[in-house]
């Protein structure tokens, strides 16, 4: 994408509201352009706004989410921008849910990469609570396939709650622990 188009889209993204993403954005900006800008490290604010737009657009159209599944997984794997990851983790949760309508199965390689990246995220001390909570959900959705994962996730949540028991972390962590315990009975 040329620099002029990048700057034009970036400026436009600053003016759009969440409701515009569902009605207006795709008339002038493509999903591919939003993914490209979300992956950009040059302008973090533009990357965040593009990822936020993707989140709203792709949640509104699950068939589009699954059409761009590989690009969303790649964006998740490559991103180091916490603001981008906040939106992209939500899309990744949806992609990892077994039996999602219109779901295209993730490859074993993609699942392993998601596991590795998600544990890397959880190892980061400066990981924001929202991203950490979404990482829990990503791992939880993969527990039916990976038996060992449930215990690792419980250990991680317990560890995090000992360190930093914020209301959001406690709520999401306890919810997932209950779901794991219910599933293991």
**Quick one: 54 and 145 in the same domain?**
no
Quick one: 19 and 38 in the same domain?
A: yes
Torsion-angle region of 102 (φ positive above 0: left; ψ -120 to 50: alpha; else: beta): left
In the chain, the number of structural domains is 2
Confidence at residue 148, expressed as pLDDT on a 0 to 100 scale: 93
Same domain, yes or no, for 181 and 112?
yes
Q: 6: pLDDT confidence band, cut at 50, 70 and 90? A: confident
- Closest CA relative to residue 128, chosen from 164, 103, 159, 96: 164
83 plus 3 within the same structural domain: yes
pLDDT at residue number 98: 61
Residues 18, 64: one domain?
yes
Range of the domain at 12: 1-100
Same domain, 56 and 134: no
d(CA 183, CA 2): 50
Same domain, 183 and 113: yes
**Percent helix, percent strand, percent coil in the chain, to nearest 5:** 80, 0, 20
- What predicted TM-score, i.e. pTM, was given to this entire model? 0.89
CA distance 131 to 81: 11
For residues 86 and 160, state if they share a domain.
no
Interatomic CA distance for residues 45 and 49, integer angstroms: 6
pLDDT score recorded for residue 176: 95
């Amino acid at each position: 994408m040329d620099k002029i188009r990048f700057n034009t889209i970036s400026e436009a993204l600053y003016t759009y509201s969440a409701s515009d993403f569902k009605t207006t954005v795709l008339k002038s900006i493509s999903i591919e352009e939003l993914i490209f800008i979300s992956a950009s490290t040059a302008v973090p604010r533009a990357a965040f706004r593009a990822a936020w737009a993707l989140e709203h657009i792709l949640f509104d159209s699950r068939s589009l989410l699954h059409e761009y599944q590989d690009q969303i997984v790649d964006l998740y794997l490559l991103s180091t921008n916490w603001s981008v990851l906040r939106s992209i983790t939500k899309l990744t949760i949806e992609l990892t849910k077994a039996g999602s309508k219109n779901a295209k199965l993730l490859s074993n390689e993609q699942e392993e990469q998601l596991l590795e990246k998600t544990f890397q995220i959880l190892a980061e001390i400066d990981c924001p609570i929202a991203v950490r909570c979404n990482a829990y959900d990503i791992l939880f959705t993969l527990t039916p396939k990976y038996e060992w994962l449930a215990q690792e996730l419980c250990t991680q949540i317990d560890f995090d709650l000992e360190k930093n028991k914020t209301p959001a972390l406690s709520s999401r962590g306890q919810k997932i622990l209950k779901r794991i315990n219910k599933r293991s009975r």
